[in-house]
Amino acid sequence: MSDAPEATQGKQPTITPLRVVIALCLFAPFVAMLLVSSYAKAEPLLAGIPFFYWYQMLWVLISTALTMIAYKLWQLDQRARKGGDAR
């Protein structure tokens, strides 16, 4: 006996262009922060703050925006799937 709900048994996950965009929105900050050699420098300064620090702080804001976008797209995808199942 499976622990999965009966409604989802037998259904394969669907990869749609919208879900690819969601994945990219969530994956981009990880990639940007893992490439340390691309931002491990002091220049250019922004209000006296070295690039290394303000680049990371900028990604905090960018990550927030991308997560919000991914969430809204996920809601849109779920509404579309529920509407398609009801037909």
Alpha helices in the chain (DSSP H): 17-34, 51-85
Q: Tell whether 66 is covered by a domain.
A: yes
**Residue showing tokens 């900028």:** 58
Total domains in the fold of the chain: 1
54's tokens:
């303000």
Q: Please indicate, yes or no, if residue 28 is contained in any of the structural domains.
A: yes
CA angle 69–72–78, rounded 5-degree value: 140
Residue 58 maps to a domain: yes
86 within some domain: no
User: What confidence score (pLDDT) does residue 14 get?
Assistant: 83
pLDDT in tens, 15-67: 889 999 999 999 999 999 999 988 889 999 999 999 999 999 999 999 999 99
CA dist 35 and 4 (Å) reads: 38
37 domain residue, yes or no: yes
Structural domain harbouring 58: 16-79
